[in-house]
Amino acid sequence: MLIALGLIVVMLSVFGGYALSGGSLGPLFQPFELLIIGGAGLGAFIAANNGKTIKATLGSFSRLKRASGYDKALYMELMALLFNLLSKTRREGMMAIEKDIDSPGDSALFAPYPKVVQDPMIIGFLTDYLRLMVSGNTSPHELDELMVHEIEEFEHEAHLPVDAMNKVSDALPAFGIVAAVMGVVKALSMADAGPDEMGQMIAHALVGTFLGILLAYGMVAPVASRVDRQVGEAVKMLQCMRVTLLASLNGYAPQLAVEFGRKALHSAERPSAAELEEHVRNSKSSGADAA
């Protein structure tokens, strides 16, 4: 994972550079300073957030494993599925896909696209709005408003962990200063200590400032930024489906509808028009057989 690689580079650069410059790593190992800073940061995080945000933040770490999940291959798979679904509705009417969207895991139409089926966010959004389209009681404008509202609400909830981690990141340097001040107070309170011992205790105390800054900007802030990027990828996935479904509702042919969806993608994941056309063409036969 890139996040793990990045954190390793941070640690090797900081501690490796310090050691190569002639510094000793021993004085930097201050577990009690870490206890003060980490414990204060954790306590502040718990005090500042409700149970929903805490649970969402803990859950965001498991999603780091899927950082590269929304790639070009998945988008191609999604657009091929959308093409086959919309083609079937155009040939046979909206009711023709009712059984497919009620049970995607058992549908032959969904079976060739396991990555899509295994993603609960994609399947939930897609089947919910296809179900509304099947009902025929919602206008394109109303459906668009509903999709926009849901995407905005999803984005707001998904950003709660990012906001919580950023606030902890902002607080950690201050907690590092608290730990350093406490160490200096301890050192100065020992009046019978010699100059060598006093200097060593003050050096240990100053490690708190270093650790607070390192934890904030070298660990917590990058993780928060990575979660924020994942939120953006998920929102882009939802926008791609929204644009495609709306194009179909407004009367565009399935091939043009998925072209609308292609235009909504980031350039890094966006297939070319020729790639998409070829992929969709190859999916026609399998989609028709599955239908």
Q: Are 209 and 180 in contact (CB under 8 A)?
A: yes
* Token pair belonging to 130: 């296809």
Q: pLDDT tens digits for 251-269?
A: 899 888 999 998 888 888 8
d(CA 283, CA 112): 9
Q: Which residues, 6+ apart, have CB-to-CB distance to 82 below 8 Å?
A: 126, 241, 244, 245, 254, 257, 258, 261
Q: pLDDT tens digits for 132-177?
A: 988 877 788 999 999 999 999 999 998 999 999 999 999 999 999 9
Q: Which residues, 6+ apart, have CB-to-CB distance to 75 below 8 Å?
A: 237, 240, 265, 269, 270, 271
Residues in the chain: 291
Please, which pLDDT band fits residue 22 given cuts at 50, 70 and 90?
confident
Q: Where are the domains of the chain?
A: 31-291
* Token pair belonging to 175: 């907690």
Q: pLDDT tens digits for 221-245?
A: 999 998 898 888 889 999 999 999 9
Which pTM does this prediction carry? Answer: 0.81
Region for residue 257 given its phi and psi (left: phi exceeds 0; alpha: psi -120 to 50; beta: otherwise): alpha
pLDDT at 63: 64
Write phi, then psi, for 86 (nearest 5 degrees): -70, -35
* Token pair belonging to 250: 């407004």
